[in-house]
């Protein structure tokens, strides 16, 4: 094949791949009709809230952090 025929083929492949990559993420998020399924108790990330609270207490006691997961810092005061 000549180089002149190969270049338009590469450009068209590039555009097809680019468009498919950009449209692949177009449906992120939860649609309104899917929220009833995700609100069920069996879909919870933590099945037992008491056990999760105990795990968090142990984790934060060992890490010496304060403020929960959203705040950073240590017990040494170096932040």
Over residues 17-75, the pLDDT tens digits come to 888 888 877 777 788 888 888 888 888 888 888 888 888 888 777 766 555 555 555 55
The whole-model pTM stands at: 0.34
Is residue 56 a part of any domain in this protein?
A: yes
Is residue 55 a part of any domain in this protein?
A: yes
pLDDT (mean) for 5-28: 81
How far apart are the C-alpha atoms of 7 and 15, rounded to whole Å? Answer: 12
Is residue 13 a part of any domain in this protein?
A: no
Which is more confident, 10 or 75? Answer: 10
Answer whether 67's CB lies under 8 Å from 73's CB.
Answer: yes
Number of structural domains found in the chain: 1
Is residue 77 a part of any domain in this protein?
A: no
How far apart are the C-alpha atoms of 74 and 79, rounded to whole Å? Answer: 7
Q: Which residues contact 75 (CB under 8 A, 6 or more apart)?
A: 64, 65, 66
Is residue 25 a part of any domain in this protein?
A: no
Is residue 52 a part of any domain in this protein?
A: yes
Domain with 40, as residue range(s), is 35-63
What's the confidence (pLDDT) of residue 7?
81
Is residue 44 a part of any domain in this protein?
A: yes
Is residue 68 a part of any domain in this protein?
A: no
Residue 28 φ/ψ, nearest 5 degrees: -80, 150
């Amino acid at each position: 094949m000549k180089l002149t025929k190969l270049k338009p083929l590469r450009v068209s492949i590039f555009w097809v791949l680019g468009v498919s990559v950009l449209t692949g993420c177009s449906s992120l998020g939860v649609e309104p009709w899917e929220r009833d399924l995700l609100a069920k108790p069996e879909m919870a990330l933590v099945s037992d809230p008491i056990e999760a609270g105990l795990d968090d207490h142990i984790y934060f006691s060992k890490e010496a952090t304060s403020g929960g997961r959203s705040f950073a810092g240590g017990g040494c005061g170096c932040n």
